[in-house]
Structure 1
Amino acid sequence: MKMRQHYIALRSALPQLQEQEPYEVTTQELAAALDCTHRNMVLLLQRMQREGWLSWEPRRGRGNRSVLKFQARKEEIVLREAQEIAQKQDLQVAISYLQAMDSEGSWGLRAQFQEWLSKRFGFHSEVLGERRLDILRFPLPQSIHSLDPASIHYSGEAHLVNQLFDGLVRINPSGETILPHLAHTWDIDKTRTLWTFYLRKGVLFHHGREMVAADVVFTFERLKALAPRGLYNWVYRGIVSIEMLDDRTVRFVLEQRNEAFLPFLATNRASIVPAPEASSSSKAVHNVSDRFSYTELGLQPIGTGPFRLIDREHGVMVLEAFPAYFQGRGFLDRVEVWTQPLQQQLDGQAEQPAFQVMHNVRLSETATEQWQQVRQSGATCKFLTVNELREGPLTDAVMRETFDMLLNRAEIIERLSGDVIEPADSFWPQPSTSGSGYPCAATPSDAKQRLADAGYKGEPIILATIPQYEADAIIVQQVCELAGITLVIKFIPAEQFKGEERLHADLLLFAIMLDEHRELRLIDLFKSMQLHMRPETQVILEHLLTDLLSESDAKRRADRFRQIEQLLTAAHSLMYLYRKHLKTAFHPSIRGISLESLGWVHFRDLWFTNLPE
C-alpha cells in the first residue's frame, strides 16, 4: 500500500512523461521526488521494478544520469489503492482518496472504481479458515444515524432495526391480521383497557441472556422517558402502567380504549430491548435515561432478531446470522450493508450498477428481460398541509382555496416523470378518482386575476420540509412561480420536524408511507396537524379521532378516516400532491424472496442458486 503511494508520488513529480518514454535523471533528483535518503530511494526503485511498474538503469558516478521509464499508468495504481482501501470496508476513505487523486475530475477513473465495486455487491461465498460463508453485500444509499428503536427516523434505519429486533406481535403485509411473535398469545378484558401478554420461553437476546417480562416493562418505560414526542407517542403515552405478573406475563393498563394499541406493538418502535438488570420482581424501572441512553443502544444494538450487528465501521454495517434465533437460523451467514451514498459521491454520472437486489428502481426495457420486478402494494403519498395559526396569505380561507386550485398537480407529476407516479386524492389505496382529469392549468393572466381577487399581493409563502424532499419542494416552488405565487423553501432536519420550528412556516411538505401500518401513520399525521389548526378545528378533529380509536370494526374505521380527510380537504388544509408506488427488482438467482410492503427484503429468508458467473 505504501509502495503504491511512493510510485504515485514519483509519477506525479514527472507528469509530462509518457509510459515507456526514457528519461535521464540524477539519483539526487529521484531521492528528492521520493522525499527520502539515497539508500531508501534505491530500495524503493528496486521494489517498484520488481513489481513491473517501472524500469531503472542506474549509472554510477557524480553527474551521471540514470535512465528511468514508467511502465504502469498512475490511474491504474490509484485504482488499485482505492480498491484495497475499500476491501478493508473503508468505503468513505476510498472515495475521498479517489476524489483527491483525480484532480482533473475525469469520470473514467471513478467509473472503473464503481464498476469494480458493483461486482462486490450481491451474493458471494467466501472461505474463511475452514468455514464457507454465504455473504450478501447490500448497497444502501443513505447514512445510518441510529439503530435505537426509540430514535430512528429514516427508512434505512427502520429496515435494519427490523433485522435486529422483534416485537411482542407482528402484522401481516396487508395490515389486516395481528400475529403472535415474542408473545405467543394475549388476553383482553371487556373494557379493552387491560391487555395481558404471555411471553415465549427460550427467546435469547444477542448477548446471550433470555428475554423475560422485565425487559418488556423496561422497553416501554424507556420509550416513554426517552421519546416523549416520538412516532406514535399518543399510543404509549396512554399506557397508565405495565405490570409484571411473573417472568413470562406482562399486563398493560391503558388510560382508555385504544384499538391502535395492538397494531402499535407490531411496529419497530415497540421493539423489545434488554433491561440493564433483568429482575423477576415487579418493581418499576426508574432513572431510565441514566441507565440506558440513546447512544449506547443506537450504536451497539442488542435485540432478539434474526441478525446481530458485529461491526459498523466506516459506514459498513456487518450483520451476522443469530444462530439462536427463536424462529430458526437464516440461510445467509452475513449481510454487509454499505451505507455510504456511493453514486452521489461519485458525481452520479454512471448508470445504476446491477446489484442482485435493487429497491425503488426503474429498469430499462433490456433490463426488464433479465430481472424480475415486484410492484409493492404499499406506496408513499406526498402532500402539503397549511399552518392555519401563522399570520400570512394562507390564513385566509379564500386564499387557501385559490392556492389549492392554482397548484398544478399535472405539471408536478409531469416534472417528476416516473412510471410509478400517479395522482392522489386520498391516503387510501384505491385508484385516484381524479386520474388524469386534473383541472387545466390557469393561464398566467387568469391566475393573476384569481390571486388578486383572493387578496394576494405577492407576499412570500414559506414552505418547510426536510432536506430529503428537496427535489419535490423545488418542483412545487417552480409550479407556484408559474402561477404567480412566490414560494420560499425552508429545510428542517427530520428529527426536528415535529418541533416548534415548523410552526414558523405557512406550508409543510411531507410524505406518509401507506403500508401495513397505514392507520397508525394517519392518526399520527392528524394528531400532528392538530398543532397548527384553528382551535375549533382541533376540537372537531379530536372528537373524530377519539371515536375512531374506540371502533373495533376495520370497515367503520376506514369510513371515519375518510370523514377526517373530507373535513381537511374541504377546508384546503390538506392538499395532496401525488402517490408513488415502489418497485423491487431482483435477480432470478434469488430464492426465498420475502418482501415487506415498501419493498424491503427480509434477509433471513434469502438464499441463492444458479448464480451468474
Structure 2
Amino acid sequence: MKIRKHYLALRRCFPQLTEDVPLETTLDELSQLLDCTHRNMVLLLKRMQQEGWLSWVPKKGRGNRSTLLFTARQEHILMLEAQEMVHKQNLRSALELLQTYEASLTLREQFQDWLSGQFGFRSEVQGQRRTDILRFPLAQSIHSLDPASMHYSGESHLVNQLFDGLVRMDARGQLILPHLALGWDTDDSRTLWTFYLRKGVQFHHGREMLSSDVKFSLERLQKLAPRGLFSWAYTNIAAMETPDDTTIRIRLRERNELFLGFLTTSRASIVPQDICEAAEGGLMGVSPVGTGPFRLIGHEHGIWQLDAFPSYFQGRGFLDRVEVWTVPDGERREEQELAIGPGSKPLQEMHHVRVSDMTVQQWKQARQSGMTAKFITVNEHKAGLFTQAPMRHALQLALDRRPLSSLLPADCLDAGNSFLQQKSSHDMLSWSFDTVVDHLRAAGYQGELFTLATIPQYESDAILIQQLCTQAGIQLDIELLSAEDFKGEARLKADLLLFAVVLDEHRELRLVDLYKSMQEHAIPQVREQLETALQRLVTEPDPAQRLELLASIEDGLLQRHSLLFLYKKHLKTAFHPSIRGISLDSLGWVRFRDIWFT
C-alpha cells in the first residue's frame, strides 16, 4: 500500500537513526523531505502512527521542535511491501524495491525463502472449474520468443513449449523421432530430403499447419538470422518445394549429416506464415504463435503466462497454466541460482537451483548429462602479441586451474579441459612467476593492455580471469557486448574472447557452430585446417568417426594454445516427489505437457 512507500521514503531520510531513538524536528522539515504539503504531512504522520510504525509528539509555538520516534524497522516494512508486490504478480518491482533500498543480505535471504513458497503447483477453483497452475522462477529475462531471434537457454526452453519442429530428439539425445513430420526420405546423395507432414495440426490461432509454413519458416531463418546459431545448417539450403500441403522437399547445396539433427532444435521451430507476414516490428518475439502444447496468453511485470492449448495434436496436458516469473536484467546473473532455504515451502520444480542441505532429502535430482563449458579463444586475426605462441602459452599458464578453481562456486567442475566426454591430455600445469616472465619476455610483452570481450551474463567470469592475469603480470581490460553484437564484427576488435557452450543432446551441432565462429579469429593456415576438418565432419555418416574428428580439432587448438578451457558446470533440475510423469531432456528442462501432480 502507498503508506508503506511513504514510510520507507521518510525512514530513508534518516539512515543513521535507529529505532526508539527520538528525533527533534518540525513539520516543515519533514514536508520538505517528502516534497508534500504541510497538511498532507500531518495526515501521513497520523496514518503511520495508527499503523504503529512511529510516534509523533507535536509541540506548538515558535522555536519548539516536535518529537519523532521510529518504532517499525525499515526492513520489516520493506519485506511487507515486496511481498505485496509479489502477490500482485509484480516480482520485478519487488526486486527493484529491495535493490533501491539496498536491502541487507539477511533480508534478501528471508525474501528469497519466502518467495520459494510462492512457486510450485497449486489449484484454483472458480465455480465448478478447477485450474491447475505451475508457477516457477526463471533467473533470466526473456527478450524474445521468436525462434529466429532468441539467444538464451531460458528463451529456448519456452520456445519448445510454444512451438514444434518437424522432428524431435529422444530424451537421451540419441534418436531422432517423427514429430510434425510423420516420416522422411533422403536420396543417395543425402542432399534431397523429403518430409511428409501430419494432417490436422493446428496453430494457436486456429489455422492448420501446411507445408508452405515449413518452407516459410526456414526461408525466414535465412533472411532474419544469417549469422545466427546453426546458420551453417540452414544457409546450406539451396531450394525448397511443396508439391502438396503435406509434403516438402528440401535440397541442400552440400551433404550435411547433421541437418536432420538441426531440425530437432528450437531454432528450427515452425511458425505460421500468415501471422508473421501480417506482424510488424518483430511481434513474434513477444506474441508468439506456434503449434506447441502451450500458447502465450500474456506477459506483464516480467511474468509470462502460458495456457494449455486444447487442440494440441499430441493431446492436452494435465496443467492448465504455467506462470514463468523472470528476473530483470539488473538482478540477473548468468545461470543465477535461487536457493531453497530451510523451512521453506517445497517448490515442486525449479531450474538450475542449489538445494540447501536441510531440504535436499525432500527433493529428487534430475539427470545431469547436460552442462555448460566456459573457455577463452584467442583472436589471432587481430595483429598483436597473441599471434605469437609464447604469449598464448603465458596466458595458458596464467589461467592455471588450481587457483582458478578456488575462486569458483562449489558446483563448478575442475575438469573443464575438454568439450568431449573423454579427458583431454592437455591439462593446465601449475606455473611459477619466473616461467610466465620467460614466456612474456620471449613474446616481447612490455605491459600492453589487452581486451577481453564477452557478454554481460559472463562478467563475473571475466573478472576472475582479469584477476588471474593481473597476478601473472598480464594487463587485461574487459569489454561487455550485447549477445547480438558479440555474434558480429564487434568482438573481432578484442584480443581475447570469453565464450560458453552448452553440451547437450545437440553437442555436435554446437561444437561445429563454435568452430565455425573460431575460424573468424584464426590465422589463414588454421582457418583452412578448420574448414577441411569441419567439411569432413559434416559429411561423415558414422557418429564415432565424427567424435574422433571433433577430438582432433580440439587437440589441434589446445596444442597451439588458441583454445583455453576454464571450467564446466552441470545443468541441474531439482523437483519435488509430488511430480508425476516428469519428462526431462538432457538440459534438465521439464516438458510442461508431460507432468502432473498428486
Q: How much does 1:68 deviate?
A: 12
| Counterparts of 2:12 and 2:352, CA distance in 1 | 42
CA contact (8 A) 2:352 2:573 kept: yes
| Counterparts of 2:99 and 2:117, CA distance in 1 | 21
Are 1:202 and 2:189 matched, yes or no? no
Q: How much does 1:516 deviate?
A: 0.6
| Counterparts of 2:407 and 2:9, CA distance in 1 | 47
C-alpha change, 1:36 and 1:175, in structure 2 (3 Å) is: same
C-alpha change, 1:462 and 1:350, in structure 2 (3 Å) is: closer
| Counterparts of 2:122 and 2:313, CA distance in 1 | 26
Instruction: Give the 3-state SS of the residue equivalent to 2:261 in structure 1.
Output: helix
Instruction: Give the 3-state SS of the residue equivalent to 1:398 in structure 2.
Output: helix
C-alpha change, 1:574 and 1:48, in structure 2 (3 Å) is: closer
C-alpha change, 1:252 and 1:461, in structure 2 (3 Å) is: same
**Greater Cα offset, 136-145 or 115-124:** 115-124
Q: Deviations over 1:511-530 (max 9, x none)?
A: 11111111111111111111
Matches for 1:548-587 after TM superposition, within 5 Å:
548-587=537-576
Q: How much does 1:113 deviate?
A: 4.0
Q: Deviations over 1:134-191 (max 9, x none)?
A: 1111111111110000001111111111111110000123332111000010111111
Alignment RMSD: 4.0
Q: How much does 1:126 deviate?
A: 1.6
- 1:249 corresponds, among 247, 250, 253, to 247
CA contact (8 A) 1:171 1:266 kept: yes
Q: How much does 1:428 deviate?
A: 1.0
Q: Percent identity?
A: 56
Q: Deviations over 1:33-89 (max 9, x none)?
A: 996898x999999999998999999xxxxxxxxx99999877666544433332222
Partner of 1:234: 232
C-alpha change, 1:451 and 1:134, in structure 2 (3 Å) is: same
Q: Deviations over 1:264-288 (max 9, x none)?
A: 11110000000117xxxxxxxxxx8
Give the letter aligned to residue 435 of structure 2. Answer: D
Are 1:317 and 2:304 matched, yes or no? yes
Q: How much does 1:461 deviate?
A: 2.7
Q: Deviations over 1:523-553 (max 9, x none)?
A: 1111111112112222222122112111111
Are 1:385 and 2:377 matched, yes or no? yes
Give the letter aligned to residue 472 of structure 1. Answer: D
| Counterparts of 1:34 and 1:206, CA distance in 2 | 50
C-alpha change, 1:94 and 1:566, in structure 2 (3 Å) is: closer
| Counterparts of 1:464 and 1:75, CA distance in 2 | 39
| Counterparts of 2:464 and 2:45, CA distance in 1 | 57
CA contact (8 A) 1:194 1:253 kept: yes
Tell me the TM-score normalised to structure 1 length: 0.84
Partner of 2:60: none
Q: Deviations over 1:561-612 (max 9, x none)?
A: 2222222222222222222222222222222222221221111122222xxx
Count of matched residue pairs: 591
Q: How much does 1:467 deviate?
A: 1.5
Partner of 2:92: 92
| Counterparts of 2:492 and 2:18, CA distance in 1 | 62
Partner of 2:431: 442
Are 1:513 and 2:502 matched, yes or no? yes
- 2:395 corresponds, among 395, 403, 409, to 403
Partner of 2:315: 328
CA contact (8 A) 1:422 1:580 kept: no
| Structure 1 residue ranges without an equivalent (≥5) | 58-66, 278-287
| Counterparts of 2:10 and 2:453, CA distance in 1 | 52
| Counterparts of 2:416 and 2:80, CA distance in 1 | 49
Partner of 2:456: 467
CA contact (8 A) 1:147 1:157 kept: yes
Q: How much does 1:305 deviate?
A: 0.8
Q: How much does 1:470 deviate?
A: 1.5
Q: How much does 1:425 deviate?
A: 3.2
- 1:191 corresponds, among 175, 189, 192, to 189
**Greater Cα offset, 72-81 or 565-574:** 72-81
| Counterparts of 2:55 and 2:478, CA distance in 1 | 60
C-alpha change, 1:77 and 1:392, in structure 2 (3 Å) is: closer
CA contact (8 A) 2:140 2:332 kept: no
Give the letter aligned to residue 320 of structure 1. Answer: D
Give the letter aligned to residue 253 of structure 1. Answer: R
| Counterparts of 1:72 and 1:448, CA distance in 2 | 59
CA contact (8 A) 2:371 2:504 kept: yes
**Greater Cα offset, 73-82 or 208-217:** 73-82
Matches for 1:337-356 after TM superposition, within 5 Å:
337-341=324-328, 344=331, 352-353=340-341, 355-356=347-348
| Counterparts of 1:149 and 1:99, CA distance in 2 | 33
C-alpha change, 1:125 and 1:482, in structure 2 (3 Å) is: same
Are 1:366 and 2:358 matched, yes or no? yes
C-alpha change, 1:553 and 1:33, in structure 2 (3 Å) is: closer
- 2:513 corresponds, among 524, 544, 564, to 524
C-alpha change, 1:580 and 1:217, in structure 2 (3 Å) is: same
| Counterparts of 1:345 and 1:397, CA distance in 2 | 37
CA contact (8 A) 1:122 1:137 kept: yes
CA contact (8 A) 1:307 1:322 kept: yes
| Counterparts of 2:116 and 2:187, CA distance in 1 | 55
| Counterparts of 1:110 and 1:529, CA distance in 2 | 41
C-alpha change, 1:172 and 1:47, in structure 2 (3 Å) is: same
- 2:289 corresponds, among 302, 309, 320, to 302
CA contact (8 A) 2:139 2:332 kept: no
Partner of 1:262: 260
Give the letter aligned to residue 585 of structure 1. Answer: A
Are 1:159 and 2:151 matched, yes or no? no
Q: How much does 1:433 deviate?
A: 5.0
Q: How much does 1:197 deviate?
A: 0.7
Q: Deviations over 1:189-226 (max 9, x none)?
A: 11111111111111111111111111111111111111
Q: Deviations over 1:480-534 (max 9, x none)?
A: 2222222222221122112111111121110111111111111111111111211
| Counterparts of 2:137 and 2:145, CA distance in 1 | 17
Partner of 1:596: 585
| Counterparts of 1:475 and 1:161, CA distance in 2 | 33
Give the letter aligned to residue 482 of structure 2. Answer: P
* Rg (Cα) greater in structure: 1
Partner of 1:64: none
Instruction: Give the 3-state SS of the residue equivalent to 2:362 in structure 1.
Output: coil
Tell me the TM-score normalised to structure 2 length: 0.86
Give the letter aligned to residue 426 of structure 1. Answer: S
| Counterparts of 1:410 and 1:532, CA distance in 2 | 28
Give the letter aligned to residue 229 of structure 1. Answer: R
**Greater Cα offset, 425-434 or 392-401:** 425-434
Partner of 1:285: none
| Counterparts of 1:164 and 1:3, CA distance in 2 | 41
C-alpha change, 1:76 and 1:34, in structure 2 (3 Å) is: farther
| Counterparts of 2:520 and 2:41, CA distance in 1 | 71
Give the letter aligned to residue 504 of structure 1. Answer: K
Matches for 1:31-180 after TM superposition, within 5 Å:
79-98=79-98, 102=101, 105-106=103-104, 111-180=109-178
CA contact (8 A) 1:125 1:135 kept: yes
| Structure 2 residue ranges without an equivalent (≥5) | 58-66
Q: How much does 1:427 deviate?
A: 1.4
| Counterparts of 1:131 and 1:483, CA distance in 2 | 66
Partner of 1:218: 216
C-alpha change, 1:34 and 1:192, in structure 2 (3 Å) is: closer
C-alpha change, 1:606 and 1:454, in structure 2 (3 Å) is: same
| Counterparts of 2:337 and 2:257, CA distance in 1 | 49
C-alpha change, 1:256 and 1:449, in structure 2 (3 Å) is: closer
Partner of 2:474: 485
CA contact (8 A) 2:397 2:428 kept: no
| Counterparts of 1:382 and 1:128, CA distance in 2 | 48
| Counterparts of 1:138 and 1:162, CA distance in 2 | 16
Give the letter aligned to residue 473 of structure 1. Answer: A
- 2:492 corresponds, among 490, 503, 513, to 503
CA contact (8 A) 2:172 2:585 kept: no
